[in-house]
Structure 1
Amino acid sequence: MTQLTRTQVVIVGAGPAGLFLAHLLHRQGIESVVLDTRTREEIEQTIRAGVLEDWTADLMRELGLGARMDREAHFHTGITLQHGQTRCHLDLMELTGGKRVTVYPQHEVLRDLIAGLEAAGGQMLFGVRDVDLREVTAARPRVTFRRREDGPLETLEGDFVAGCDGSQGGSRQFIEGRTEYQKVYPFGWLGILVEAPPSHHELIYARHERGFALLSTRSSTVQRLYIQCGAGEHVSAYPDERIWQELRARLAAPDWQLTEGRIFQKGIVGLRSFVTDRMQQGPLFIAGDAAHIVPPTGAKGLNLAVADAVYLFRGLEQFYRDGHRERLERYSETCLRRVWRAERFSWSMTTMLHVDPTENAFEQRIHVADLEYVTHSRAAATALAENYVGLPLDG
């Protein structure tokens, strides 16, 4: 016999969108259950970089989850843009009236969210099997699953379902009449983790004739660095010495030296932009990577997921408080305004800083002109800084 459990909001996916939503709901006394096919260990140990916009870091603190972040994160008040060997510092705080970004890996954010929700008595089920979403758009939406491979089939029924199951999840497929927009970039990023102290006090985004490079920081003893590579290349084509040769060349600058060390992790990811133009169907609402993907150049992915969670929470809060659905009905519209602005910014940063092998010499020179304009115009620098630290949430 199928076991039936009832809650108010079923959240499918324990990523940033799902876990932030669960915290916001729990704080207002709205019941939810989070389901994920991954184990807790898989979620917490999948290493992913993270740059938190100013308001996202503030939300962590507001939820009582900011203590470890404030102890261990790196707070950057500026970034450096580099073309060839010429560097330009953009003072984010000065350009945006006191805002900054917080470099704190996404998996660390998830650890804090999971631990905090567990301590608060929130319900999370990890490592579930045979998840079936076929009834998520019904009048009484249901998700069926098993807690273990040989366990009984269980049904979780709610008033609403939040599909926060990522780009490969199934929830988006139940949004009817949607149009999907996508751009696949003809290059990727080779990322490494290195045992070495920081080479610079802030992130360096470099455009070089050999391709893009990014210098970031993980901790006082670990650096994270990236180089542009071919979209179809395999990590085996990049032994350690070749990686260091490329980084030395692309990040070279007068009176500066890259700090090197033991590379203990490397991997290649492709870059793409993706948006679906509908994020809701009846009682189903999708959020985060289930609805949109941005290239990492603009550092927007995690922050967009959290914004979706905030907008969905506001709609659910209004519904459970006074029975009104206005915010829920406008959920897609509200989210997509922010999504398309972030997509534009991420696309502009990506095209400005990368060498696209499919473009001609004229197009390449236009991107160099964009970079020179940003580094010589206060108005252009301010626009970049405002987007980088995070635009205000819509009301």
Structure 2
Amino acid sequence: MNRLRTPIAIIGAGPAGLLLSHLLHQQGVDSLVLERRSRPYVERRVRAGLLEHTTVELLRRAGLAGRLDREALRHEGLELRINGARHHLPVTELTGLSTYVYGQQELVKDLIQARQEAGGRLWFDTDDVTLEIPDGGGPCTVRCTAQGQPTEITCDFIAGCDGFHGISRRSMPATAQPAFERSYPSAWLGILAAAPPVAHELVYAAHERGFALASMRSPHVSRLYLQIDPDDELEQWPDDRIWKELRARLDVDGEAGLTEGPVLEKSLVPLRSYVSEPMQHKRLFLAGDAAHIVPPTAAKGLNLAVEDVQVLSEAFAAFYGSGQDTLLEGYSQRRLPSIWEAEDFSDWMAHLLHRLPDAQAYGARLQRARLDALVNSPTAARQFAERYVGLSRSFAGAGKERAWQS
């Protein structure tokens, strides 16, 4: 059996795990990243693509935004289409901040390259990972199969960045991890298509047939979503049906602005919320989707993960720099207010834009009243824009002294 030691074992080579490893390296703290999937798989995995201003600024300070600054699409607003009527929300004008479209898989490629150039240890295709966190403190143990060999890793801490279905979340004792969950009566059918975007900014469509979102990954590749029944299967949605439904929901004055192209990928995304409280147990710390899931409507998941690892890297740096564990002990308390603010906004957007089940007349009238306020009230538009770009999470984080465990 191979045996080695590292200060921090990071489980998962998605954006959270890779960025955490990079930030720790910049502060002189060594780490080892373990990933169950292959490198080609994680570099092709299409996920989120909307980055908030604070996320981009962190990546710039970390020296990771060279290609992002060249290739990302900067957005100053968004378009709402409500039953065939077009409305524009000038987000930058209202907040002074912009958002950026840059695919998660592109960010992962940048992070992997940065870690390799710095000599970082990234282990892909790592199987049979188990975690041991002693009750009495002391070093943790990670056991796995790496490069075909049984391996045992001794470490001070484990950072679980391996998503909702990963081993890290499952290694939290149930008694130490009260979970807050919500399932929604809808799912998203997403496609990646070799077609130009519908518009130069994101288009959110609230339609009597259901919600649709028109996003992009480049000037030549579109990312498009449809609200569907949560029990639907991909086989029920051939390409022709998808394009027909997108045209119907995105239509404005008889024209959807939609250019069809080859469908490169299809996926189903269930709408759900999940928060682990706390986000840590002894020497195991969760970040990103391992700690929380938000409905994708507001595109907060990746941005929350970046905030998590920024806070966690600062806490680890303080521990190794001065031996202080105050920031580590307070990790959950620092993060949960901002996470719940994002959960609230994501939930609000999901209810604002999605077709309600069973054609609930009262709920539909409320939904329309809220949409009318958003497009007609400057105050409502400004409040929305501040939450959309993440400004409100800064205020939520200022309340970190609240007793979230109470």
TM exceeds 0.5?
Answer: yes
Task: Please tell me whether the aligned partners of residues 174 and 281 of structure 1 are also in contact (alpha carbons under 8 angstroms).
Answer: no
TM-score normalized with structure 1 length: 0.95
2:372 is equivalent to residue 372 of structure 1: yes
Q: Structure 2 counterpart of 1:246, which letter?
A: E
Matches within 5 A, 1:1-395: 2-97=1-96, 99-135=97-133, 138-149=137-148, 151=149, 153-176=150-173, 177-254=176-253, 256=255, 257-358=257-358, 360-391=360-391, 393=394, 394=397
Inter-partner Cα distance in structure 2 for 1:136 and 1:169: 20
Segment drifting more, 258-267 vs 124-133: 258-267
**Number of residues paired by the alignment?**
391
Inter-partner Cα distance in structure 1 for 2:32 and 2:359: 48
Per-residue CA deviations over 1:278-329 (Å, capped at 9, x if unaligned) read 1111111111111110111010011111111011111111111221111111
Q: Structure 2 counterpart of 1:112, which letter?
A: D
How far 1:356 moved relative to its partner? 2.2
Segment drifting more, 185-194 vs 384-393: 384-393
Segment drifting more, 356-365 vs 185-194: 356-365
Task: Please tell me whether the aligned partners of residues 184 and 273 of structure 1 are also in contact (alpha carbons under 8 angstroms).
Answer: yes
Per-residue CA deviations over 1:238-268 (Å, capped at 9, x if unaligned) read 1222112211111111274322222232222
Task: Please tell me whether the aligned partners of residues 44 and 111 of structure 1 are also in contact (alpha carbons under 8 angstroms).
Answer: yes
Task: Please tell me whether the aligned partners of residues 76 and 100 of structure 1 are also in contact (alpha carbons under 8 angstroms).
Answer: yes
How far 1:136 moved relative to its partner? 6.3
Task: Please tell me whether the aligned partners of residues 129 and 148 of structure 1 are also in contact (alpha carbons under 8 angstroms).
Answer: no
How far 1:116 moved relative to its partner? 0.6
Inter-partner Cα distance in structure 1 for 2:102 and 2:154: 35
Inter-partner Cα distance in structure 2 for 1:49 and 1:275: 19
Inter-partner Cα distance in structure 1 for 2:291 and 2:197: 35
Inter-partner Cα distance in structure 2 for 1:241 and 1:37: 36
Task: Please tell me whether the aligned partners of residues 85 and 252 of structure 2 are also in contact (alpha carbons under 8 angstroms).
Answer: yes
Determine helix, strand or coil for the equivalent of 1:218. strand
TM-score normalized with structure 2 length: 0.93
Q: Any stretches of 5+ residues in structure 1 without a counterpart?
A: none
The two structures, once aligned, show a CA RMSD in angstroms of: 1.6
Inter-partner Cα distance in structure 2 for 1:182 and 1:243: 30
Inter-partner Cα distance in structure 2 for 1:126 and 1:359: 47
Segment drifting more, 165-174 vs 302-311: 165-174
Task: Please tell me whether the aligned partners of residues 186 and 358 of structure 1 are also in contact (alpha carbons under 8 angstroms).
Answer: no
Q: Any stretches of 5+ residues in structure 2 without a counterpart?
A: 399-406
How far 1:32 moved relative to its partner? 0.7
Q: Structure 2 counterpart of 1:28, which letter?
A: Q
Determine helix, strand or coil for the equivalent of 1:210. coil
Task: Please tell me whether the aligned partners of residues 133 and 284 of structure 2 are also in contact (alpha carbons under 8 angstroms).
Answer: no
Inter-partner Cα distance in structure 2 for 1:60 and 1:337: 23
Inter-partner Cα distance in structure 2 for 1:34 and 1:348: 36
Inter-partner Cα distance in structure 2 for 1:194 and 1:45: 15
How far 1:36 moved relative to its partner? 1.0
How far 1:132 moved relative to its partner? 1.3
Task: Please tell me whether the aligned partners of residues 356 and 363 of structure 2 are also in contact (alpha carbons under 8 angstroms).
Answer: no
Identity rate of aligned residues, in percent? 46
How far 1:104 moved relative to its partner? 0.7
Task: Please tell me whether the aligned partners of residues 25 and 31 of structure 1 are also in contact (alpha carbons under 8 angstroms).
Answer: yes
Q: Structure 1 counterpart of 2:298, which letter?
A: G
Inter-partner Cα distance in structure 1 for 2:17 and 2:183: 26
Q: Structure 2 counterpart of 1:322, which letter?
A: S
Inter-partner Cα distance in structure 1 for 2:116 and 2:227: 39
Task: Please tell me whether the aligned partners of residues 47 and 107 of structure 1 are also in contact (alpha carbons under 8 angstroms).
Answer: yes
Inter-partner Cα distance in structure 1 for 2:139 and 2:267: 43
Inter-partner Cα distance in structure 2 for 1:279 and 1:199: 39
Inter-partner Cα distance in structure 2 for 1:33 and 1:195: 37
Q: Structure 2 counterpart of 1:381, which letter?
A: A
Task: Please tell me whether the aligned partners of residues 197 and 214 of structure 2 are also in contact (alpha carbons under 8 angstroms).
Answer: no
Task: Please tell me whether the aligned partners of residues 42 and 108 of structure 2 are also in contact (alpha carbons under 8 angstroms).
Answer: yes
Q: Structure 2 counterpart of 1:178, which letter?
A: Q
Per-residue CA deviations over 1:46-88 (Å, capped at 9, x if unaligned) read 1223111111111122121111112221111101112111121
Q: What is residue 403 of structure 2 aligned with on the other side?
A: none
Inter-partner Cα distance in structure 2 for 1:320 and 1:262: 51
